[in-house]
Every structure is written in C-alpha cells, then in structure tokens.
Structure 1
Amino acid sequence: MRLGVVLRYVGIIMLVVALFMLLSAGVSLVSHTDSGYYPLLLSALLTALLGAFPLIFVDRTEQLSSKEGYCIVVGSWIVASVVGMFPYLMWGGEFSLVNAWFESVSGYTTTGASILKDVEALPRGLLFWRSCSTWLGGVGVVMFALLILPSLGTNKALLTNVELSSMAKHNYHYKASMIAQILLFIYLGLTFCSTLALKLAGMNWFDALTQAMSAVATSGFSTKNASIGYFDSVAVESILIVTMLLASIHFGVLFATLTGRRNNIFHSEVTRWYLSIVAVVTVVVAGSLYFGGVYDTVAGALRYAAFQVVSLISTAGFATADTTVWPATAIVLLISVSIVCGCAGSTTGGIKTDRFLLAIKTLRLRFSLQQHPNAVVRVRIDGNVLDDKIASTAVVFIVAYFLALLAGTVVGTMCGVDMETSFSSSVACMGNVGPGFGMVGSLGNYSDLPAVMKFSNTMLMLLGRLEIFGLVQLFFLKWWR
C-alpha cells in the first residue's frame, strides 16, 4: 500500500473541510465579526495547509488499490473529525480537548449528541460550522469530494463502492458516477425545499437553513437549547417530520419515485415496512401518553408522539418534549426504534430496517427448513432473491452491533454512571441518534458524563457511522491480501 497516495487523497478531503470552515468564517463576518470569526478563519488556514502539503509532494495516480481506497475513506472520516476540533478548541468556552473531540465526531457522524449546556451562547459562525460538519457527514465527506472534484477521475468508482455499504447499494442500479450525482441531487433538493418551507413557517433564514441541514443529515444539531421545542409550532414540526422521513428512506428509492421508475416508494418492501413501523409505534406511544395522563388530548399526544418517534427512528434526534418523564411503554418503544432506525442508502444510522427485515425473513426461513428439510426456499426482498452471503453478513452485523452496545454499557457502568444512562447513551451513539434517557435525555446533553465515557461514546459513533466492519478492519490491514 502506498501511504503517500492515501495521504494525498485525505489531503483533498481536508481542503473540502477547510472550504466549509471558510464559509462559516464568512457567516461570522456577516454577523458583525462575532467571536467565532478568527477561530474559524485560522482553522480554515491550518486545515488547508495540512491538506495541501501531501498534494505538493505526492504525484497524482490514476489507479488505486482496494486497500488504498479503503484507507482513504476511513482515514478521511477520522482526520476530518480531528481537524473539525480546531474551531472549538480555538474558541474555548466549554470545549476542552475531550469535549471538542466529542462535538466534532458527533457532528461528522450525524449523531447530534452535544456536550454544550448552552448552545445559544455560541456565536453564529460556530453554530453554522456545527451544521456544516453534520451536513458534510450526512452525505459523507468522501462522497461530497467525489461530487465536486472531477480531478479524481476513474478512482471515483472505487471510492464510491468503498463508501457505500452492501445494503445501501441494493437499490442503486446505476454506475458509480451516477450514484454520486443522485445522492447530491436528492440531498441538495431536500435541503433547499426544507429550508424554504421552514422560512415560510416563520423561521428566520439562519435558523431555517441550519435546522434543514441538520434534518436532512438526520443529525439533530439545533441552534436552540430547547431544540425544536423552542419554536412551538405545529407547522415547523410537520415540515421537519416530512423532511426526516424522506431523509431516512433510501435515496435511490426517492430518485426512482421522482423519475417514475418501478423501484419507488410505493413498490419498495423495505420502505413499506419502515413506514408501517413508524405508524404503529406512533399510535402505541400516543396511546401510552394519553392514557398515562401526560397529555390531556388525543391530538396533543399524537403531535408529540409522532415527532419524537420520527426523530429517533430517523436518527435525527430533534426534541419537542422531555421524553425522560414519559411512561415506560413509550420509553421502551423509543429505545427500540433507536436501534432499528431508517433504511440503508439514507443518512440514518442504526441496524437499518433492511437488515431488520432480512433477519426476520431469515428466521422464518430457518423455521420452514426445520419443518421441511428438503425444501428449497430463498430469502426475497422486493421480489429479488438475495444471496446467502448478504443474509449471513446482515446477521453477523446485528450480533456485532449488540456486542458493541454491551461493551459501551459496561464502560459506562464502570465509570459510575447509572444503567439507564449507560445503555441508552450507547444505543444513541452507536445508532447515531443523539438523545437517550436518564442524564442524556432529549432536552439534556452529554456534558456531565466522565471523560472516559465520552471517548467511548465517540468510538461507538464512528463504529455506527462506518457500519462496524469499516472501522474494525483498519486494525487488520497487514492481514489483507
């Protein structure tokens, strides 16, 4: 493996990150040169210098190996998280080294968990940088670079295949270059439409853009301490529910729906399952809220239940209510959807509805084979027979996912944190959801957690965003063939 080539491409990603830091500095400048201007400007210059350095000394190559492509993708995520700390550290405030790392990783992985006790104390430039980091992370820092840098040439196909999981590729029937264009088209389109709709619903342009960027990235970074509850608007909540739902459906399916192709929302079995789960859980949670006396009206219970269910299953993590005081039935269901989450090929984290459905069908298949050992039965999704390797990989992923949750919970309890907080924070970080329960509730934050647990949670965020095997394989490069 050519380390210099890997560093060259990671350097290109850093230049993209520097561009968004510079854009955020521009927001600070427009906002009467607020206190975020110089930290953002200096961070942009430092990141640009670090990114340009390997470009000067390493020649461009037309062909990458699969190992190099893998290291570029994983290395870009880690390096982007490191340089993403610079603006926070230079600004100071609540951002210690651990806190800055936590906030940066949380942004890029679209987890949306925060260590900030007072989000509104941040200058507009830094608030915009938080939104930029999470918006970049939503579509993928590598994928974004593939879209805006034509100089990457034939290597686009390799990097696209590495960036997308096998489950995400299922509904894409296009060339690698076309996949990247579809991602950008849907991503920008959702961001634009959501921003415009939120502005029409009464937000100012800054809040509308930042909330839209966060919703489309299914992150949940808000500019307000009370999250979306600050706006107390049914119109705003309805717009965000639609945005979060669309952003959590496979982008290839959304594109097929817009272009009139067959593999659209109405024909996608996974999408039907996903929307059915949302509907059923919303009704049950609303019932528990109404009959539990949390809300006096059915309409009120449905309003808050719908928003929180969609927010957590889409891994956006926005909040309009303090869910830590909700009935046990509601809490269990919210934790459950935080584990399953949205569809592959979207900006969501978690196990994904695709794997959940595949696991159910594999279990049913196993029961059928027990009764009819000689039968030839295959797992099908959307009428297509799935390779046995895909099914077995999905099951292995789910087992590894729960082992990671167990490890995160154990670390939390060893740090002296209660079981509810330890488990729910592990679920929230591993699934890139954001809010959990206990100390890290929907209207709380992660600031009071021990430093060791904060670092452990960032590892869970990266594991979840890189779908476990992506990050783990980095430690076994020498055994690659």
Structure 2
Amino acid sequence: MLLDSAFMLLSAGISWINGMDSGFTPLFLSFLLTAILGMFPTLFVRRREQINAKEGYCIVTGAWLLSCFVGTFPYLLYGGEFNFVNAWFESVSGFTTTGSTILTDVESLPNGLLFWRSATHWIGGIGVVMFALAILPSLGKTKMTLYSVELSTLAKDNYRFQTRKIVYILLFVYVGMTAMATVMLRIAGMDWFDAVNHAFSAISTGGFSTKNASIAYFDNLWIELVIVFFTFVSGLHFGLIYSTLTGSRNNLFRSEVTRYYFLCAATGVFLITLSLWLSGTYGSFATALRYGLFQGVTVLTTTGFATADTNLWTPLAMTVLFFFTLQCACAGSTAGGIKCDRILLSFKVLRNRIRQQQHPNAVLRIKLNGVTQEESTINFAMLYIAVYFLFIILGTLINTACGVDFITSLTASATCMGNVGPGFGEVGSMESFAAMPGVMKFSSTALMLFGRLEIFGLIQLFMIKWWV
C-alpha cells in the first residue's frame, strides 16, 4: 500500500503539472488514505522473524487483493464511468496486467489518472512481489515462503540464485527495460508522456493505452516494432535475460523453452500473415505481416495492444490468436496464461505416454532444459492445465448465464484467465467490457486474480480445512 501511495502521489504530481486538472484531488486524497492504511500495520503490528507457509499465502494474496482494493480509490473519487464494479474491474485489470477496460473514452481521462492506470500495470507486473521480498526484514524461510507462492515451480527452476539476488535481478532487468522502452518509443515518435505510459504497459505485458484506438492511433511502424520487441523480450524468463546479459552459461540460447517460444511465435505469426494475405484482408504480404506480427506477439505475450480489429480477421488467424491466448509466454516473465513451459512439458508427457505403450518395460524420463523433471512437478503441471480449463469453462457458463453470446463469453473468460486483454465478439481488440453485465465484470476480475496468482496461490483462501 505504501508503494501504491507513492505512485498515487506521483500521479497527483502529473495532474499538478498539467494545471491541477480534474484528476489531482482524487489522486491526492487517495494517496493520503492509502498511505495512512499502509502506515498502520507498519506502526502497530509486531514484527515476526519467521512465518509459515499459510502466512506466506496470506501475505501474497492479501497484498494483491489490498492493492486492487486501494487501486479503486482514484477511480471512485473521480466518478464518471466509475461506479464500484467498474472501478474494481479497472483496478484488478491493471494490477493483474490484463489490460481489459470498461472505459468507452480513455482519452477523456486527465493525464494524472491515465498515468495511474499505467502505473498499476508496472506495479502489478513485478513490483508487488519484488518490494515484498525487499522490505520484509527477515531472511531465509520468510522470503522463500513468499517466493514459492508467487513464482511457479517451472519459473523457479531457472532461478539459480539466492532470494536477495533475485530482487537485484528484477530491479536490473525490469527497471532497465522500462527505461530503454521509454527512450526508444520517444525516438520512434511518441511524446514523453505517452512513451512512459506505453513502456509501463509493454514491459509489464499489460495493455492499457492512453488512446481509445490503442497503438492504432499512432499508425507508426517504428512504434509498433519497438513495442513488439520489448513485449516479446518481456515474455522471456527474467532470470535468463539477466544470465544472458551477464554472460552466464545458463542463458536464453541454451533454453529449450526459449527455443519453443521463438518457434511458436514465428509459426503463429506466419500462419496469421499468410491467412490474412491469401484471403485479401490486406492487399500486400508486407501489410499482412505488419498487422499479423503486432497482434500475434502482443497476444502471445498477454500485452493485448491493438492495431487492427481482429473480429474482421479470418477464422484461421482468430484460431491462432485464441491458442496464443491460452498458452501465452514463458514462466518467470510477467505474462500470464498456461505458459510455454507447461505446454512443452505436456507435449513431452504425450510423447512419453506413446513410447511407454510401445515399450511397456522401459524406464522413461522427461527432461526440460536438460533437467530431469520429478514426477510431482509433471503431475502438478498437468493438474494445473486441467484446472485452468475448468476455470475457463466455469467463467463461460457464468457469462452465458448473463445473456452474453457464446463467442464473447468464451473468449472473455479465456482472456481474463490468461491476463491477455482482448478477446473476440463484443470484447474484441477494438471493444471494451463497458457494455457487459455487472456479474460478468465481477466474475471476470475473479478469473484475472486466479490467473495472475496461478490458481493455487489464491484458491487456498477458500479451503476452510486448510486453516485447521
């Protein structure tokens, strides 16, 4: 909450620079209230040297839920389109880096509030867990408990560092990439304000834009290429990015998952481009490639920026985008979804099962990045995929029960669960969730949180027997 309040104050400062616009008072009052709430436990809750696993779950999930709650303050105090359900949706979508919105006119918001929207992406992308690890005074079990809740097992396999060094890695990579993206977007043609906001969204793989038409507003190839590069890199394992930059042997070029990520992106973009070109959706192969590359990469990395209305694309192109919505990028990145790691592992499990039927007595091992995977890791990954689809089906049932058509219901459920942003139908790349029923908006935020905390990080709160 103290971190949130600091960004609220910074956002209020931007409103002040812009002539005390209509966002200043809501942001400054939100800063005061959030800072007081954040200081209260700091002053009155006794420090503990060690915490157990249950307390670790409470800290991580509590931090996410409280950040989303206090994130509604600026929206509620501002008013306009923001009733409580809409403010909650916008806040959760921001902190979980989903990027879906209920706004029909983004550009009507004052600059301070636009900056706050983008800041929730940046905080949510990596800031919450990073600062939680940095500010908690105790060492050892406390930090590792938080670490194990926030990062999946597959993501942790590549972090061969102490937890304290992980904080430095995240700071170095995350902040450094944000600064680089800001400068590159400014050079490409954005003004400084838009460059910072879109850099926050790109590096966090979020998707909030300062424009109603998203990146299509700029109609600038260089801006699109900069965003494609940084969103694609942000979909990689941050620890491996650091290892590569520092010349470590354990780097991106030796990662099997990274190779699959590149191959998947290249194949998907090629299929989309070919489909759009042959169907006549775009007049030339170069134009089809431009739009196919941008939409394919931003959906794969769960960023969700838009340069085209994908509702008008071919069924093949939409199918590839939907697959990207389900799979997404790599574990250890700020992206959501099932992750490339689990999908690749599932392919290996399938291959192993076929081989086992051919050779019943053979002892077969499954390796990922050259490391033999334990049976428990494999079983958990397969369980995660099954439960992930179960949540999408449940979300679709709720959405259709609200009277929403099937395509919109299914893709809205999938895009919220994967923290992607755009779906198809009434929640397409050039649409918003503004017209969706209130129940659907609330259930969608639940999917965003379950997806961001990798399901089991949040589901424990609802298991009453777990607390005994």
TM-score of the aligned structures, taking structure 2 as reference length: 0.98
Structure 1 residue 156 displacement after superposition: 3.0
What is the total number of aligned residue pairs between the two structures? 467
Q: Secondary structure at the residue paired with 1:167? A: helix
Determine the C-alpha separation between the residues in 1 that align with 2:465 and 2:25. Answer: 42
Q: How does 1:15-26 map to 2 (within 5 A)?
A: 15-26=2-13
Residue 424 of structure 2 corresponds to residue 437 of structure 1: yes
- Distance in 2 between residues matched to 1:198 and 1:89, nearest whole Å: 31
Specify the alignment match of 2:379 in structure 1: 392
| Alpha-carbon distance between aligned partners in 2 of 1:49 and 1:132, rounded to the nearest angstrom | 20
TM-fit CA distance, 1:450: 0.3
Residue pairs, 1:352-431, within 5 angstroms? 352-431=339-418
Structure 2 residue corresponding to 1:71, chosen from 28, 51, 58 = 58
Structure 2 equivalent of residue 318 of structure 1? 305
CA–CA distance in structure 1, aligned partners of residues 62 and 29 of structure 2: 23
CA distance in 2, matches of 1:157, 1:397: 22
Are residue 292 (structure 1) and residue 279 (structure 2) matched? yes
SS at match of 1:171: coil
| Other-structure match for 1:172 | 159
Aligned to 1:158: 145
Q: Secondary structure at the match of 1:373?
A: coil
2-structure distance, mates of 1:338, 1:139:
21
Kindly state the Cα deviation for residue 167 of structure 1 after the two structures are TM-superposed.
1.5
Q: Deviations over 1:400-423 (max 9, x none)?
A: 000000001111111000001000
Following superposition, the deviation at residue 480 of structure 1 comes to: 4.8
CA distance in 1, matches of 2:20, 2:139: 39
Q: Give, in whole Å, the separation in 1 of the partners of 2:357 and 2:379.
A: 18
1:31-75 Cα shifts (integer Å, max 9, x gaps): 111111010110111111112222222211221122111100011
Paired amino acid for 2:440: M
* Equivalent-residue separation in structure 1 for 2:467 and 2:159 (angstroms): 28
For residue 138 of structure 1, what is the aligned residue in structure 2?
125
1:253 aligns with 2:207: no
User: 1:120 maps to which residue?
Assistant: 107
Q: Which amino acid aligns with 2:19?
A: H
TM-score by length of structure 1 reads 0.95
Alpha-carbon distance between aligned partners in 2 of 1:146 and 1:332, rounded to the nearest angstrom: 39
Structure 1 position 157, deviation (Å): 3.5
For the aligned residue pairs, the C-alpha RMSD in angstroms reads 1.2
C-alpha distance in structure 2 between counterparts of 1:344 and 1:33, whole Å: 42
Deviation per residue, 1:129-167 (Å, 9 max, x gap): 0011110000041323433x3745553333223222212
CA contact (8 A) 1:146 1:152 kept: no
Instruction: Provide the secondary structure at the position in 2 that maps to 1:344.
Output: coil
Identical-pair percentage: 54
Selected match of 1:328 from 315, 325, 329 = 315
1:448 aligns with 435
Residue in structure 2 matched with residue 211 of structure 1 by the alignment: 198
Matches within 5 A, 1:236-251: 236-251=223-238
Q: CA distance change for structure 1 residues 477 and 56 in 2, over 3 Å: closer, same or farther?
A: farther
Q: CA deviation at 1:433?
A: 0.2
Counterparts in 2 of 1:213-232, with a 5 A limit? 213-232=200-219
Q: Give deviations 1:235-274, integer Å, cap 9, x for gaps.
A: 0000000000000000011111101112212111000001
2:461 corresponds to 1:474: yes
Structure 1: unaligned runs, 5 residues or longer? 1-13
Residue 267 (structure 1) aligns with: 254
Q: 1:477 to 1:21 in 2, by over 3 A?
A: farther
Contact persistence 2:460–2:466 (CA under 8 A): no
The corresponding residue for 1:6 is none
- From 76, 93, 97, give the equivalent of 2:84: 97
**In 1, are the aligned partners of 2:5 and 2:32 still within 8 Å (CA)?**
yes
- Match in the other structure for 2:327: 340
Structure 1 Cα separation of the partners of residues 43 and 404 of structure 2: 48
1:369-412 per-position Cα deviation (integer Å, ceiling 9, x unaligned):
11111111110011110111111100000000000000011111
SS in 1 for 2:454: coil
**Counterpart AA for 2:32:** L
CA distance in 2, matches of 1:468, 1:160: 16
Q: Which amino acid aligns with 2:329?
A: G
1 CA distance for matches of 2:314 and 2:249? 42
The answer on whether the counterparts of 2:328 and 2:337 sit within 8 Å (CA) in structure 1 is: yes
Q: Letter of the 2:167 partner, please give it.
A: A
Q: CA deviation at 1:321?
A: 0.5
- Unaligned runs of 5+ residues in structure 2 are none
SS state at 1:206 partner: helix
* 3-state SS in 1 of match to 2:252: coil
Partner of 1:5: none
- Partners of 2:334 and 2:131 lie apart in 1 by 13
Following the alignment from structure 2 to structure 1, what is the Cα–Cα distance between the partners of residues 368 and 153?
Answer: 14
Secondary structure of the corresponding residue to residue 280 of structure 2? coil
In 2, distance between residues paired with 1:52 and 1:158? Answer: 24
